[in-house]
């Protein structure tokens, strides 16, 4: 008997309709146990992992990463890993939390897994996270530069022992062991997970990474405004936003006052540049460029400027150049000062960015800046 094509078509349509109906009935029945304590069926686990791995590989960007062996990238990534990732994934000398061990799926020990992914795939995983796995997306999707710092650290992670990890993650910060009273009275043992000094230094310690600003002697009003902008999401940073959000307004003020009261380093940040580039940077900073409508930087960022604006002398060239590029891409934030700087940065060429950054990096910080009285923006 010959089957007519029309009946084959009907059979195909019936099968197509039967699959979602059967799946709906299976979900409605409650037969599948969703308890994390029971785990997935073997075939379910294999199917989900197969789909996840292929999804990541299909979506990983085809871009050239920055130099991932750059010590400044690695140090900054290590600081964030310590405060944001080690709790779930563990680290050398830090056991994985029993809570995360009972997640489904449990977060992997990354030092054993990062080798299975390319740099671009690691970037995609860190930036976008994973659905149904407890792996969050990067809090500030605009900040690809921050995501690459974590990728750089993950590449270094498998080679680290306990001492090497702590040196990178704590930025050389040495902590006294907590006393029994502190362990009993505090909510958690102090391990500098949220300590600003890990990245920004303190007292006579400067930042370990050139991608981090020097806060010593900066105006308290500028520091407080930056912390507030991070806390309310007006300034983008997957590293700083979670830290600032966890601080009360009183704590943010105390922190701003602390760094404002520190004596700024007299020595400039390390950096090399050709004399002609230094001269061009100096001219642009002091005079601006009337042809491209770029105002003089010194008006807002000099030692005697209003305290709402940060002082740039002595900041590293890498930090200043990166911030200007973020403004060019609209990736730094949407505060009032961001609106001003985005318009200015958009008119700067890459050469001008490097020249301005190089000049500021070679300038010693004026010690008097730390003792300037705090004035309200707009005050004479």
Question: pLDDT band for position 187 (50/70/90)?
Answer: low
Percentage of the chain with pLDDT > 90?
61
- Pick the range with the lowest mean pLDDT from 31-40, 182-191, 350-359: 182-191
pTM: 0.87
The more confident residue out of 37 and 231 is 231
Vertex 141, ends 252 and 55: CA angle to 5°? Answer: 140
Tens of pLDDT, residues 86-132: 989 999 999 888 888 888 888 999 988 999 999 999 999 999 999 98
Question: pLDDT band for position 376 (50/70/90)?
Answer: very low
Q: Which residue has the tokens 């994985």?
A: 96
Question: pLDDT band for position 38 (50/70/90)?
Answer: confident
The pLDDT assigned to 142 comes to 96
Asked whether 259 and 214 are in contact (CB, 8 A), the reply is no
Tens of pLDDT, residues 289-345: 999 999 999 999 988 889 999 999 999 999 999 999 999 999 999 999 999 999 999
Tell me what the mean pLDDT of segment 239-264 comes to.
93
The more confident residue out of 36 and 367 is 36
The pLDDT assigned to 31 comes to 83
Can you list the domains of the chain with their CATH numbers? 64-169 (1.10.760), 210-380 (1.10.760.10)
Q: Report CA torsion sign: 188, 192, 197, 202.
A: positive
Question: pLDDT band for position 232 (50/70/90)?
Answer: very high
The pLDDT assigned to 379 comes to 36
Asked whether 40 and 103 are in contact (CB, 8 A), the reply is no
Residue 346, pLDDT above cutoff 60: yes
- Cα–Cα distances (Å) from 280 to 115, 270, 352, in that order, read 45, 19, 8
Contacts made by residues 334-338, CB under 8 angstroms, sequence distance 24+ = 334/234, 335/225, 335/229, 335/234, 335/235, 337/308, 337/309, 338/234, 338/235
- Helix (H) or strand (E) holding 320, with range, is helix 317-329
The pLDDT assigned to 234 comes to 97
| Bridge partner list, 333 | 235
SS3 for 239-295, per residue? CHHHHHHCCCHHHHHHHHHHHHCCCCCCCCCCCCCCHHHHHHHHHHHHHCECCCCEC
| Bridge partner list, 294 | 289
- Pick the range with the lowest mean pLDDT from 13-17, 114-118, 158-162: 13-17
The pLDDT assigned to 270 comes to 58
């Amino acid at each position: 008997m010959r089957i007519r094509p029309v009946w084959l078509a009907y059979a195909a349509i019936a099968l197509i309709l039967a699959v979602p109906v059967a799946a709906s009935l299976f979900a409605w029945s409650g037969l599948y146990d969703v308890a994390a304590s029971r785990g997935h069926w073997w075939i379910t686990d294999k199917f989900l992992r197969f789909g996840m791995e292929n999804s990541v590989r299909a979506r990983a960007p085809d871009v050239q990463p920055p130099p991932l062996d750059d010590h400044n990238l690695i140090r900054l990534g290590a600081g964030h890993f310590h405060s944001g990732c080690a709790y779930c994934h563990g680290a050398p000398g830090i056991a994985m939390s029993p809570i995360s061990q009972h997640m489904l799926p449990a977060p992997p020990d990354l030092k054993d897994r990062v080798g299975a992914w390319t740099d671009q795939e690691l970037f995609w995983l860190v930036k976008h996270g994973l659905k149904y796995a407890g792996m969050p997306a990067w809090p500030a999707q605009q900040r690809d530069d921050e995501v690459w710092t974590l990728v750089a650290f993950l590449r270094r992670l498998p080679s680290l022992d306990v001492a090497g990890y702590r040196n990178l993650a704590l930025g050389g910060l040495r902590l006294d062991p907590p006393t029994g009273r502190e362990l009993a009275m505090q909510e958690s043992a102090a391990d500098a997970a949220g300590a600003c000094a890990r990245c920004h230094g303190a007292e006579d310690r400067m930042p370990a990474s050139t991608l981090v600003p020097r806060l010593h002697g900066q105006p308290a009003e500028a520091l407080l405004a930056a912390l507030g902008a991070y806390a309310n999401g007006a300034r983008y940073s997957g590293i700083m936003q979670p830290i600032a959000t966890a601080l009360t307004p009183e704590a943010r003020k105390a922190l701003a006052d602390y760094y404002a009261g520190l004596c700024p380093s007299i020595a400039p940040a390390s950096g090399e540049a050709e004399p002609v580039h230094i001269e061009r940077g100096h001219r642009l900073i002091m005079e601006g460029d009337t042809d491209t409508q770029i105002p003089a930087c010194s008006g807002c960022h000099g030692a005697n400027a209003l305290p709402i604006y940060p002082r740039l002398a002595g900041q590293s060239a890498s930090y200043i150049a990166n911030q200007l590029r973020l403004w060019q891409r609209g990736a730094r934030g949407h505060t009032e000062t961001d609106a001003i700087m985005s318009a200015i940065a958009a008119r700067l060429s890459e050469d001008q960015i490097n020249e301005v950054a190089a000049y500021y990096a070679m300038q010693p910080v004026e010690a008097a800046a730390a003792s300037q009285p705090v004035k309200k923006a707009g005050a004479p």
